[in-house]
Amino acid sequence: MNIGLLWQHEFVQNAFLAGGCVAIAAALVGYFLVLRAQTFAGEALTDIGFTGATGAALLGLSPLPGMLILSLLAALAIGLLGERLRGRDIEIGMVLSFALGLGVLFLSLYATSSGSHATAGVGILFGSILSVSRGDVWLSLACALGCSLALLILYRPLLFASTDPEVAAARGVPVRLLSVLFLLLLALATAISVLVIGVLLVFALLVAPAAAAERLSPSPAGALLLAVLFALGSTWGGLLIAFLGPGQHLPASFCIATLATGCYAGATLGLHLRRRHLSQRPAQPPHPCKGRRTAA
Amino acid sequence: MSTQHNQRAISLHLASERPSSPEADPGAGTTPAAIIELEGVSVCLGGRTILQEVTFNIRPGEFIAVLGPNGAGKSTLLKVLLGLIKPSAGRVRIFGQAPRRGNQLIGYAPQHRTLEGALSLRARDLVGFGLDGHRWGPGWFISGRRRRQAIIEEALAEVDALELADMPVALLSGGEQQRLLIAQALLSQPRLLLLDEPLSNLDISHEQEIIALIARLCRARGMTVLLVSHDVNPLLPVIDRVLYLARGHAAIGRPEQVITSSTLSALYGAPVEVVEALGRLFVVGVDI
């Protein structure tokens, strides 16, 4: 089977298009997520989103809107509680496990009521990119555009607030508001990432490309670009392997996660090499401090 | 000489970057009225009184060392000046106005901490926040990108960190990171510089370097500096006055007036000895 032939199937087109949108949104949001060291919040939002998705399935709705609504609400709650949640990992963990438990309950109710096997649950947990509909493509395109546009507007203050919230607040940056807005974007990005790669593997798209890029490029703009390239490469590469690969029926999620992890491993290796190169710089500034000369 | 030149170049560049304010020009002929006025200022945080009826004035161009034991309210005082903490009583005036966030006339470098997120950025990105980090939009398409880089590089040169511009912050030493934070605080051409413990985590040679740098900037720009420190000794040759905080109270004056057994005993409300040994001052009898 070649790519041209493959492309004639609508489900293949949908997979590549939705995958591309999701990869871009996840990479951009992921870069700030890594910078802000909020990966636990990312995990929290996907877990709560899982409950939303299974709840929606139980009500006979499409899982994606359910996931979106619940994870956006959770993002709002986490953002508004803000400081009070710091160092409360245990409490957050309890809420998460309760949410996941609820999700399992919904799933089992859904499976009994519809008499089907828990395929919907498997799709949510591990991704179901091959069953993405045209509607999902549009939805993920809208989400990706929304995320990119919002990050473009928030770029400088968000970068400032993410790296040095104290000084940013003193300089008049609305740090709390940015934190809430960012969590909402994160909820959006995780919800559509689940479409491609599932709740359990969402880190592969959200964190791995961004973390790899952050290691390779110290310039924020360069790192964002690299993150998008890594995410797109992993997603499309993973899909190609899944469709054309030797083993036949390799799960797409597995291929994507493997490629993304590979990017991260490669970047870590690259960082070590670059650090070794950079550490050969002159240990001290070549000329003495100007201050002492003029003060004397 | 080159410092003067740089300075003028930067203010020229910035003239179009930020909304011009009437105070933007320090003006040679202005009267040296107080730049900071505190009158009976009290601060309560979480039911605890941090500052109690603190009153003092600071004149333009003064280099002030802020001293005092842990928890005396040194950092809190800076945050009051920045408008980050509202005093529960009293009156605060900076440049004749109430403190407010985002005041471009104030440069601020908080206590040194590990800037987790910033570690992967380049030095020039970190410093650049001081120029336009608070502005919306990505700033990629504005016409002044070249000029922006030139301003950042001039600020880096001023703190002798130009050769670090493209280094990831993670690879820099504590002293180098401190210099970057000072460069960042200087980018908005502040008339008041608030530095919280810039000397902690520095070895002696770097400590001297930073002090000389700040003193030079203070004198060259006529900038007022409040520098929080644990140890007054390395600062004695360069400062004008000390502001000593203890038990929520404050004493301000020349070092030889304030750092005496009688003044500090009254401030602490407990017997305190100031001992001079090896050419250095030591405060004995309390935890400092």
Contact B103, B58 (CB under 8 A): no
At A61, the pLDDT band (50, 70, 90 cuts) reads confident
**Where do the domains of chain A lie?**
3-276
* Mean pLDDT across A20-43: 91
The third-level CATH classification (topology) of the domain covering A3-276 is: ABC transporter involved in vitamin B12 uptake, BtuC (1.10.3470)
Per-residue pLDDT tens for B236-269? 999 999 999 998 899 999 998 888 888 888 888 8
Q: Over 90: is that where the pLDDT of B206 sits?
A: no
How far B79 CA sits from the closest chain A CA (Å)? 8
Instruction: Return the residue of A nearest to B195 by Cα.
Output: A167
Q: What is the mean pLDDT of chain B?
A: 82
Query: Cα B147–B149–B151 angle (5° rounding)?
Result: 70
Query: Can you give the pLDDT at residue B76?
Result: 92
> Comparing C-alpha atoms, which of B166, B158, B89, B163 is closest to residue A222?
B166
For residue B122, the 8-state DSSP code is: B
Q: Is the ipTM of this complex over 0.90?
A: no
CB nearest to B216's CB, from A281, A286, A295? A295
Contact at CB, B106 and A170, closer than 8 angstroms: yes
Query: Can you give the pLDDT at residue A97?
Result: 86
Per-residue pLDDT tens for A209-255? 999 999 888 889 999 999 999 999 999 999 999 888 776 678 888 89
| Contact residues on chain A for B186, CB-CB shorter than 8 A | none
Within an 8 Å CB–CB cutoff, is residue A152 touching chain B?
Answer: yes
Within an 8 Å CB–CB cutoff, is residue A289 touching chain B?
Answer: yes
Q: Over 80: is that where the pLDDT of A1 sits?
A: no
Specify which residues B286 forms β-bridges with: none
Instruction: Return the residue of B nearest to A287 by Cα.
Output: B160
Q: Tell which wins on pLDDT, B116 or B8.
A: B116
Per-residue pLDDT tens for A259-289? 999 999 999 998 888 777 766 655 444 444 4
Contact at CB, A290 and B184, closer than 8 angstroms: no
* Mean pLDDT across B44-63: 91
Within an 8 Å CB–CB cutoff, is residue A275 touching chain B?
Answer: yes
| Contact residues on chain A for B181, CB-CB shorter than 8 A | 167
Query: Can you give the pLDDT at residue A173?
Result: 93
The third-level CATH classification (topology) of the domain covering B2-247 is: Rossmann fold (3.40.50)
Contact at CB, B137 and A152, closer than 8 angstroms: yes
For residue B133, the 8-state DSSP code is: T
Across A61-70, A100-109, B57-66, which has the greatest mean pLDDT? B57-66
Contact at CB, A155 and B167, closer than 8 angstroms: no
> Comparing C-alpha atoms, which of A64, A70, A66, A214 is closest to residue A143?
A64
Instruction: Return the residue of A nearest to B78 by Cα.
Output: A170
At B142, the pLDDT band (50, 70, 90 cuts) reads low
Q: Over 50: is that where the pLDDT of B68 sits?
A: yes
Residue B239: partners with Cβ closer than 8 Å, 6 or more residues away: B63, B64, B65, B227, B232, B255
Contact at CB, B135 and A289, closer than 8 angstroms: no
How far A167 CA sits from the closest chain B CA (Å)? 7
Show the DSSP H helices in B116-272 as ranges.
Answer: 123-132, 145-158, 174-186, 204-221, 255-258, 261-268
Query: Can you give the pLDDT at residue B60?
Result: 93
Query: Can you give the pLDDT at residue A272?
Result: 84
Query: Can you give the pLDDT at residue A262?
Result: 95
Contact at CB, A172 and B102, closer than 8 angstroms: yes
Contact B172, B127 (CB under 8 A): no
Spell out a b/e string for B212-240, using b for 16 or more CB atoms within 10 Å of the CB, else e: bbbbbbbbebebbbbbbbebbebbbebbb
* Mean pLDDT across B66-82: 91
